[in-house]
Amino acid sequence: MAVIHRTTMKPGKRELLTAWLPTRPWYAGASEAPELTGAGGFRLDDPQGEVGIEFIVVTEASTGEPVAYLVPLTYRGAPLEGAGEGLIGTSEHGVLGTRWIYDGAHDPVLTERLLALLAGAAEPQDQNVSGSPDPTVVPETAEGALPPGAAVVAVEDGPGGTRLAVEAGGRSLTLELVRVLEAGRTDSGALGRLTAGWELPDGSRPRGPLAVLREG
């Protein structure tokens, strides 16, 4: 079980994302220094207890209407070899020391846990409370779509979001991370999806898919 420490991070996650988010091909804002607001998320446990895993949602309104972005993060005590492309930055944690913070799409621990969640073999955890499941995060996947051993083998970032190529028992699947969240979005023909809610600045709480699994 991951332990959430009540301490400081310098620079903070939101500060790091302010610089990183506008460099992404799927960023839909108009500002090079967006004002980000925390809007929700959840955590997953690393069975080895080595890597922190957090899916966070932030909103920003540089185009007028608030836009919600999904950013999966991993926190490591040392650099992840071969994952320089996914490095968001480093931060000094008040308890754990220097943490290397990655876009989790490029971290095999996060992608393995995300597939496990979709397959029903992992449980989403509250973003802010240690040892507390989050029942508002709902995985749904067709029976047999993600057999044991399914793994992400490639990552592609583009204007439409992030696509993870998945090898699953001889089948080739695509797991889309929905970076720009859409309330009520439907995906016909999907083999699975991960649905959750987030909070907009006006206090409303829409829901929509954070990840969608498809054939091919």
pLDDT string in tens for the chain (216-residue length):
555 656 677 788 899 999 999 999 999 999 899 999 999 999 999 999 999 999 999 999 998 899 999 999 999 999 999 888 899 999 987 667 799 999 999 999 999 999 999 999 999 999 988 889 999 999 999 998 999 999 999 999 999 999 999 999 899 999 999 999 999 998 888 999 999 999 999 999 999 999 999 998
> What local confidence, expressed as pLDDT, does residue 177 receive?
98
What is the predicted pLDDT for the residue at 162? 98
Kindly list the distances between the CA atom of residue 8 and the CA atoms of 14, 93, 96, 99, in Å, as whole numbers in the listed order: 13, 6, 10, 12
Give me the torsion for CA of 52, 210, 39, 137, rounded to 10°: -70
Q: What is the pLDDT of residue 20?
A: 96
Q: Are strands 207-215 and 37-44 parallel, antiparallel or unpaired?
A: unpaired
pLDDT at residue 7, as a whole number: 65
The predicted pLDDT at position 92 comes to 86
Which residues, in sequence order, are bridge partners of residue 167? 151, 172
According to the 3-state scheme, what is the secondary structure of 98-123? EEEEEEHHHCHHHHHHHHHHHCCCCC
Phi-psi category of 72—alpha, beta or left, where left has phi over 0 and alpha has psi -120 to 50?
beta
Residue 189's contacts (CB-CB under 8 Å, 6 or more residues apart) are: 214, 215
Residues whose CB falls within 8 Å of the CB of residue 82, separated by 6 or more in sequence, listed in order = none
pLDDT of residue 2: 59
According to the model, what pLDDT value does residue 3 have? 56
Cβ pair 5, 132 in contact under 8 A: no
pLDDT at 83: 85
Domain ranges of the chain: 9-215
Q: According to the model, what pLDDT value does residue 45 have? A: 96
Q: Do residues 190 and 213 lie in contact, with contact meaning Cβ atoms separated by under 8 Å?
A: yes
How far, in Å, CA of 43 to CA of 15, rounded? 20
